[in-house]
Structure 1
Amino acid sequence: MKKAVYMAMCSLLCVFWTGCTQKDNQDKQAASADEPQEEYLFPFEEVEQFTLDKGGELLEFELNQANWELEDGGATLIEQEQVNDKITTLLKTAGVPAETFNPEKGTELFKVITAKDTVSFYKEHDDYYGITGQGTYKLSNFDVVSDFSPIYFNGGALLAEDTEALRRVNFSTATKEYFITKDKGTLSDVETTPFISGWYLHDYFKTPRSVEYYTMERILKSAVLLPSHKINSVPSGSDMLSPISVVFEYVDGDDQQFSIVAYNEAVQSYFVEYQNSLYEVPKNVVSVFAKEGLQLVDRFLYILPLDAVTAIDIQRTKGEDYHLLIEHDVTQSVLTSSFFLNDRQVDEEAFRKTYQYIAVLAPVSEIAPSEDDLKAAVLSLKMTYTFLSEGESQTRTLLFYDTGEKNTYLCELGSKEYFSVSKQQLDDMLNEIQKLSDN
């Protein structure tokens, strides 16, 4: 009897939830039907030829055995695979109807002329639009549109034969001079282990810092080939910049220098001076050289491979102190480690998970505090790392000060470098260590 009642209740619940689910699905479908549907701007499978028109500069492309090529037979600046990818992505541009867009309030980027239609691309603020013979669309996949320049296909200055020839990049601005090189400077071998680019920023901070991998990849590509188009003068409406001088030093001594002098938002291009001539360069190529400081480097306060760490001491002015100890033992080339928190052995997996919260501490911004700021700052926490590098024990200290800021601490590294650090991130770290202690 109980089983029959239970089965009946289950059946009723199933009917109830099925009905709710069907109604929810119907409501979602009705709402979806009311929303504008995304449409392709081109019949991309049918397009075999098109003309790119940017400000009257015309480039004609044709599809030849699955490869997009210039009709005049000219060589493209970027590799064939990149050409195919850019054009295929462009021809698959999609958007939703946006008839309220007024092209007079936007900036025309370029036109694509096919046998059946002309599509004009515009930018207004941070939004991108396409106008076809069928209507106006707000673009949903606009990345390629924002960086689709004829310069990629028909312009460029060859600076070196390959990236191996580059040995150093020098930067000079109105206020600072710094450089990038493979020399790790004062960093120990262990301190460079977590980083993969193999290049280091010098003279910007008080100690060298590793250049972020993808940032360095962009720099290396430009050090070989700078996509550019020679022009006579900077277009009107451009923003003149305080010049940024960039010098590529190569192993053969044939150094190359260019200076970034202006930027134009409408055409998404920088303008550079190179060998006494002026060139237009796509924004995405040159913007990496306009980055400064923390935008260039791996964004960690201080990170070490855990297998090299022997201790981390955390002393707090309020709350419990923590002493993390790691004992390493090598037997027949096999490393084994034991992990302790406040003299109590803890699980290795749990310890490694907690260490991730220590490793990812990141600077929010650079700070140059005045003497009065430092006098007013109150020490909140001190972290001391002890680690082995090349058989020697070394220590590094981080000090965190409360300056009255709601969301950040002032962090002082051992070399009197100062950064702001998120209070929330530090609290998360301390909470994870406390969880490890409680288990």
Structure 2
Amino acid sequence: MLNSMQNENCNDGKIEPFPILAIIDQESKFTIFEASEDSILEPEIRSAGQPFSIIVHPFGYNEQDKVNGFVRWRITGKEQWNEEPLIKTDSNKWEGSWTPPNSGTYEWNVELWTGQNHPVREDVNPKEVRLLKVERKDLILAKWFKLDKNIFRNINRLPIAKENDVFLLPVIFPNNQKGLIGEDGKGHYSMDNNTADAFSFGELTHKLASNGITLGMEFPIKCSSQHPFYLDDPHLFNGDGVMDLIGEGWESRRKKWENIFRFWIVQGVEIFSIPEITCFPLSFWDQTIRSLKKDFPYISFVTDEKLSDDFHNRMISAGFSNFETDLINKELTFDQHQPLVDRAHDTKISEDLECTTEDKNIVIKTKRLSTDQYLLNIDNKDSSNSRSVMISINHKSIELSNELIYYARDLFNGNAYRWSGESNEIFLRKGQGKLQFLIEFNN
């Protein structure tokens, strides 16, 4: 899917309305058809905040009849429909438009009838519902740079990029000669010692995020016999290293994978490139991506696996993104002396910070170090289990909106968490009793 969407369809240029045919059927209602067979094969794609227009050509009605209609739309999974009217713009042409506010998958349909009053409303026929895939505009227009493992050896030598461009990391997990993830009992929570460590990864994510660069990573899902999941339940894996996510207890195993994605998201990863999505069932991706996007709506899942048209559309419906981009090799452009990007910094923050959590076993104390730096001392009174903890942050002088990006660096391991808004998540490993985070607002 990295090579399946035309960028020019999602820029600021004019986009032709989506064509619809409507033919009078029974009583006063119309049957709705797409005007192009191609539109049935693949959902339309737009960027968030970009209007989606529909043009309807009704046929078979008497000229003296009054034609009325509207377009319904909602984000997939919601019960409530929104309605926008269809307006007559020509002798036999009605147009309507609606604007998806955020990225995600939307459902929409058109209803048309003759007469002053709307016929008795029935439930929307699922066969009449169409899909609209809405992506982040910054990712659609971005250049994607594919880095190699040597990037961690000299983080100061990065490609010259623009704000909102994407840097895609190679596989950083410990793996065997076949590329299966897992070595010496370490899996997707770990990094290959020959590639990176927690400090160098934190240094990289902090530098990219502070310059507005979006970070992605390649994320293989096949496991070796040394992966901790395999060591715990070897009978759940086939010969290719694929975990059973269909049999009894599959939901608890799905949750384990979701927690791994959550771990890397709070480290600053926003895009996961999955090379073999068909190894896992559609239900896995649907539930996992839906759950993750409730807390992290900005993330994206992509793949470059070759898919049939039918499966391609099903994966889009399950939450995968659809970008067309050339992956630029990092060695194309280097300049040791130029900054990564030329970007003005935000205004410094100088007021005190308050951090709280609903976890009764967590005590947080804050200390102001400078006008834009704060130290968080976290005392974990229950370190018997690993868990995620939600931290609520309040600043007395500014509103911490989701658009404001700031960073929390774990001073024990160097990991940099990319935070936004008032509520953010940290991951506590088993045995972690005391932690210190440096909060920085000067990016």
What's the TM-score once normalised by structure 2's chain length?
0.23
Higher RCO (CA < 8 A, seq sep 6+): 2
Task: Work out which of the two has the higher radius of gyration on C-alpha atoms and give 1 or 2.
Answer: 1
Would you tell me which structure has more strand in proportion to its own residues?
A: 1
